[in-house]
Amino acid sequence: MANLYIGLISGTSMDGIDAVVARFDESGAKLHATLSHPYPSPLRTDLVHAVSNPSDCSVDEIGLLDGWVGECFRDAALAVMEEAGVSADGIEAIGSHGQTIRHQPDAVRPFSMQIGDPSIIAQGTGVATVADFRRADIAAGGQGAPLTPPFHRWLFGTTGKNRVVLNIGGIANVTILGAGDAAVTGFDTGPGNTLLDRWTAKHRQEPFDRGGAWAAKGTVVEELLEKLLSFDYFERQPPKSTGLEDFNLEWLTDRDVLDYEPRDVQATLCELTAQTIADDIKRYAPETRELFVCGGGAHNAELLRRLARNLPETVVETTAVAGLDPDWVEAAAFAWLAMRRMKNQPGNLPSVTGASRKVMLGAIHSP
């Protein structure tokens, strides 16, 4: 069975590595195996610490984490190959996004750092591994993010439909697929699950608010919502991208959230997330009639309910209606980007990232 690619990603939620074995042809994307490979809990703790306290993270620590994350990605690749019943000979390449520990696209010397040593993955699996997808786009003047819109366009960009694809990971990003010839755009709207997760972890000792049930019990605090909405990122014009550097517990405590009932804060954060996404869609894609949601946030019923309420003229569905399970869209995108790289085809969309030109994304690490 030829033409199989593996996609690996751990997003900003750091809830674990998503792994897929996928094949792409004229009829779309077919997933041959999928799995979610958790990080060992001490590694996750160290990663969260490194991301939250960058100035307190030594080169030695980053080196150690790079290797440790690489081993986990290798193991995720081996596990998904076993699940699919294929050996290294049957896989064309692995596309490994790695784990972002820092994303600074607007710095004087911009960079975006993903760790998870690709040589460990290539040598441990025997499969060529494409990694470091963001650097070339940044070198060409782009944000290095988001990178999934070209895949969204390829898969969901049926002409004649005003569609938006919304990925709700730790951060939320949209891909605007206008009808006709309008250039595809896409950008990070701001928080996805991250504020909801952090607030839930702080008050309920659980990693996330299942189904948004806790948020659904609270009442939105309007004055707090106004304060949160006045953050300048929400006013910025695309291209723009963000990360946990901008949206974290400190961001919340700086805005006096501790003054309110925790579950009302959760309801407010849920509304903030829904409203910032909906406002951007209304501003930059007012003709949108179909919204396809993917990422873990697709399981948050309260968030989807608030989204639909803020977008009365849009049908809110998950990517499942268009044939791809919302849990695996991002991992499939990196398998697809690896395919592009192996075929020496460009992977970025300058209309999305702001890069000066199309470039090939990622470096190939031979086994």
Q: Residue 294 and residue 283: Cα distance in Å, rounded?
A: 21
Q: Which stretch binds ligand ADP (CB under 6 A): 24-32, 249-257, 267-275, 290-298?
A: 290-298
Told to check if 13 binds Mg ion by CB under 5 A, we report yes
CA distance readout (Å), 242 to 12, 146, 239, 248:
11, 10, 11, 12
Say whether residue 217 binds ligand ADP (CB under 6 A).
Answer: no
Find the residue with minimal CB distance to Mg ion: 11
Residue 97 beta carbon to ligand ADP: minimum distance, rounded to whole angstroms = 9
Choosing among Mg ion, ligand ADP, none, which partner's interface includes residue 96 (Cβ < 5 to 8 Å by kind)? none
State the amino acid at position 268 in one-letter form: T
Closest distance to ligand ADP from the beta carbon of 44 (Å): 12
Pick 217 or 357: Cβ nearer ligand ADP:
217
Beta-carbon contacts of 315 under 8 Å, excluding residues fewer than 6 positions away, are: 289, 290, 291
Q: Which of 5, 6, 7, 13 is close enough to bind ligand ADP by CB under 6 A?
A: 13
Q: Of how many residues is the chain composed? A: 367
Q: ∠ CA(310), CA(311), CA(317), 5° rounding? A: 115
Shortest distance in whole angstroms from residue 224 CB to Mg ion: 28
Rule CB under 5 A: is residue 197 a binding residue for Mg ion?
no
Q: Are 252 and 198 in contact (CB under 8 A)?
A: yes
Q: Cα 91 to chain center, whole Å? A: 24
The 8-class DSSP code of residue 184 comes to: P
The single-letter code of the amino acid at 81 is: M
Stretch that binds Mg ion, among 11-19, 84-92, 104-112, 159-167 (CB under 5 A): 11-19
Among 8, 15, 151, 350, binds ligand ADP (CB under 6 A): 15
Taking alpha carbons only, the member of 98, 102, 100, 109 closest to residue 55 is: 102
Crossing angle of helices 301-310/262-284, nearest 10°? Answer: 40
Does residue 12 interact with ligand ADP by CB under 6 A? Answer: yes
Segment near ligand ADP (CB under 6 A); pick from 205-213, 261-269, 312-320, 336-344: 205-213
Which residue matches tokens 């076993």? 82
Q: Does 169 help bind ligand ADP (rule: CB under 6 A)?
A: yes
The contact mask relative to Mg ion for 35-74 (x = CB under 5 A, - = no) is ----------------------------------------
Residue 196: CB minimum distance to ligand ADP, A? 6
β-partners of residue 164 are 176, 291
Q: Does 218 bind ligand ADP (CB under 6 A)?
A: no
| Partners of residue 21 on adjacent β-strands | 6, 33
197 is an interface residue for ligand ADP by CB under 6 A: yes
* Assigned token pair, 279: 């406002």
What Å distances lie between residue 273 and 135, 297, 302, CA to CA? 29, 10, 11
The least distance separating ligand ADP from the CB of residue 32, rounded to whole angstroms, comes to 20
Q: Which of 4, 5, 7, 11 binds Mg ion (CB under 5 A)?
A: 11
**Beta strand pairing call for 315-318 and 111-115:** unpaired
Question: Contact, 137 vs 99, CB < 8 A?
Answer: no
- Taking the least distance from each CB to ligand ADP, the nearer of 118 and 146 is 146
Q: Within positions 74 to 113, which residues make up the interface with ligand ADP, using CB under 6 A?
A: none
Cα–Cα distances (Å) from 55 to 43, 58, 249, in that order, read 18, 8, 17
Among 95, 146, 150, 295, binds ligand ADP (CB under 6 A): 295
Q: Which residues contribute to the site for ligand ADP (CB under 6 A)?
A: 11-13, 15, 169-170, 193, 196-197, 208-212, 295-297, 299-300, 330
Q: Which residues contribute to the site for Mg ion (CB under 5 A)?
A: 11, 13, 15
